[in-house]
Structure 1
């Protein structure tokens, strides 16, 4: 009996409203709402949590923009932006970041670097270009000024009375035929004797002629347009520029004391402007004059000499196309006519017997007829002194 009393106490009845099912349902809903409200409060709460969620979403957007902006400085910029998240707001940001270096480079430090890299090579290339008005050729062909020019230094002194026509007699092919060359050099002068560079004992022969009162020239072998042999190491149009200059320099170094150069044969070579130009440039560089033998009417020699402003003169008469004394004397008479007309004349002959004999009788009489016999340098100095 004593054990039943406690069980009666446990079975004490609940208040009537708690036993109502509707009230129990409302309590359950309130409990769920309270739990939800507590969770919302912990994460930011209520309506403020909603705005915080949007702010967090906006704050997260710069991450894709920054990731897309970094590849923009690396080639290529576009593929990296395409791999980024597919969300529309994120894909729009990389496209604006890629376009910014073109439209707003001053506000973007990264965009200024490519602009500087592009400008530096252009400035470097311009700085390395040679000056437009400083070609290499003029210093190489500039002759020494005034009396320092070699042709003036080696010129035979000559007095030219004012108003008297001058005649210069040039004898080519000197040195090969020693006997006839010696006879020619023994004539009364002054004559201008032009020596082939491959003659034997050339320095000895030339010095003896100079001591006898004659002026010296070098007779440069050049390619003819006909089948004829101009001699060893002649200048040919088929040679490259380097070989032409090499052969010309070898000939120029064969002896010294001469005033200039005229062409031996050379009807083909002198007509080739490109082949002849480096030869005249070398003459001008050394301070020598150019006598164009005019073996062809197409010679570029005088035109080039004028352009280079170097001393030059051209042949007027050939004396001995016919090797007879009468023919040579007839050509000497034509030489006098040219001298009267233009104030000077340059005649070219060769050490032939007929030429030597004709000159031997003509030379003592020419001055009596009012002409002045001069070396070729006097004609150049008076009429065509270009350097």
Structure 2
């Protein structure tokens, strides 16, 4: 039998088509099987609990911790004062927002170095000549009450001068008839000071005429100070009316201290600013000085003044001496009238401010 014209199987069309269809069917079958198997494996297992998605809660940052109130007895910063109260009878009270009602003995930061200047010759100690005699203290703590802003309100100034002394009464330079008022107060046994207007921080406060201002020439500062000091006599020195701006200015205060040194007068810093350079400038110029410790009437109510007088007693008992400054307000007059008679029985001695200056306890 002859085999010459037979075609091989793999070259026949029907066989090739059949093979291709078979391979395609096998691939479809394998794909379906894999899909069924994967679907079954993704179903949750009965009884199993899916973990919830994490929730991130938005929380506010904790508030800053409140700082503890400073303790005056531990030498902390100055106590925060009540807000200033407008009062036409005492323009200095308007500045009480710039200073504390009680001055702490916390050590102050070192002052900037004072440039070397040729000090004027020291004059005769007029402050000692005009000072009241120092009362016998017997070792008891002493308190000096300084009342300033006097002379403008004549009626209240007179009531204050009628209180039992010795008080230290500081009269405004520009008050009418101030020489007679000051003379009458001295006859009643009170010590005298000149209340010199000095520039405050705020321009909305009017310290009065002939105010000592930052930026004035030295000659103009001396002229204005000379005018104030010429209004009456018999005083031991000056204290500042307002002055939170001027007493912080070293250049202006050097002119004032040079003049006080030449005239032999003392300086009492009312401390209307925590930045005052009064103490270090006075010390450098050899001017006798002291600084107030308590403000009596930044709140003019009788109860508040009585509380401030109690603070004054506590300060004097701890440190040996205290200087409190007040003003001719009705509440202050009433509180002092009730407080003064029993002071000695409570173990204190009322003294003029010159006594505290002599003791060196007013710094």
Change (3 A) 1:330 1:385: closer
User: Post-superposition shift, 1:280?
Assistant: 1.3
Cα separation, 2, equivalents of 1:308 and 1:275: 13
Q: Deviations over 1:145-197 (max 9, x none)?
A: xxxx1000000113232320000000010100000000000001110000011
Q: Does residue 334 of structure 1 match 2:334?
A: no
Q: CA RMSD in A?
A: 1.5
Match of 1:221 in 2: 197
Q: Secondary structure of 2:234's match?
A: coil
Contact map agreement 1:293 1:314 (CA 8 A) in 2: yes
Which of 191, 194, 198 is the equivalent residue of 2:167? 191
Q: Secondary structure of 1:239's match?
A: coil
Contact map agreement 2:266 2:288 (CA 8 A) in 1: yes
Q: Deviations over 1:205-232 (max 9, x none)?
A: 0000000010000000000002200001
Unaligned runs of 5+ in 2: 1-115
Aligned residues: 247
Q: Does residue 157 of structure 1 match 2:133?
A: yes
Cα separation, 2, equivalents of 1:385 and 1:308: 17
Q: Does residue 313 of structure 1 match 2:290?
A: yes
User: Post-superposition shift, 1:276?
Assistant: 1.1
Change (3 A) 1:195 1:368: same
Which of 114, 118, 143 is the equivalent residue of 1:137? 118
Q: Which has the higher helix share?
A: 1
TM-score (norm 1): 0.62
Unaligned runs of 5+ in 1: 1-134
Q: Secondary structure of 1:245's match?
A: helix
Q: Does residue 175 of structure 1 match 2:151?
A: yes
Which of 325, 330, 339 is the equivalent residue of 1:353? 330
Larger radius of gyration: 1
Match of 1:249 in 2: 226
Q: Does residue 295 of structure 1 match 2:272?
A: yes
Cα separation, 2, equivalents of 1:377 and 1:210: 14
TM-score (norm 2): 0.66
Change (3 A) 1:223 1:348: same
Q: Does residue 375 of structure 1 match 2:355?
A: no
Bigger relative contact order, structure 1 or 2 (CA pairs below 8 A, ≥6 apart):
2
Contact map agreement 1:190 1:213 (CA 8 A) in 2: yes
Cα separation, 2, equivalents of 1:385 and 1:302: 10
